[in-house]
């Protein structure tokens, strides 16, 4: 499915990520997936991107939004490969990917940052 990802840059100081998580928690916005790069680039998929983005902006974060593909897959070896092959066969560039599954849990959540989320969604059947 296509979801809206929130992206912002965090300062490199203790508590920066904790502050964002606390703010979203107070506002009852659930983080579904998150990736933080060493340069401070934070990517979030949340259950309510409109409210979450507005609250982050209200607290002086510069937030950008982007459509991404989000899928839940079996938490098993090779489960992601067929999805990525369909995207590649459609000649859609995969720019980044992040996700997680709990050890021994039945499913994994994967976020795909692609150049054209609509086309990739159609190609991969998501």
CA distance 29 to 56: 11
Q: At what angle do helices 49-58 and 16-26 cross, to 10 degrees?
A: 120
Q: Is the pLDDT of residue 62 over 90?
A: yes
Structural domains in the chain, sorted by start: 2-66 (3.30.2130.10), 67-124 (3.30.2130.10)
pLDDT tens per residue, range 9-56: 999 899 999 999 999 999 999 999 999 999 999 999 999 999 999 999
CA distance 59 to 90: 40
CA distance 55 to 123: 34
Q: Is the pLDDT of residue 102 over 90?
A: no
Position 6 scores a pLDDT of 98
What's the N-to-C CA distance of the chain in angstroms?
A: 5
pLDDT tens per residue, range 7-22: 999 998 999 999 999 9
Q: What are phi and psi of 29, to 5 degrees?
A: -100, 120
Position 100 scores a pLDDT of 86
What's the predicted TM-score (pTM) here? 0.89
- What integer is the mean pLDDT of 64-80? 94
């Amino acid at each position: 499915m296509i979801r809206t990802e929130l992206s912002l840059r965090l300062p490199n100081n203790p508590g920066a990520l904790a502050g964002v998580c606390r703010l979203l928690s107070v506002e009852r916005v659930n983080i579904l997936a998150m990736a933080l790069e060493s340069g401070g680039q934070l990517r979030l998929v949340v259950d309510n991107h409109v409210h979450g983005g507005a609250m982050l902006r209200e607290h002086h974060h510069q937030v950008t939004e982007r459509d991404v593909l989000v899928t839940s897959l079996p938490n098993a070896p090779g489960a992601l490969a067929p999805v990525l092959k369909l995207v590649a066969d459609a000649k859609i560039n995969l720019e980044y990917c992040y996700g997680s599954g709990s050890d021994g849990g039945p499913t994994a959540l994967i976020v795909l940052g692609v150049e054209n989320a609509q086309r990739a969604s159609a190609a991969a059947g998501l």
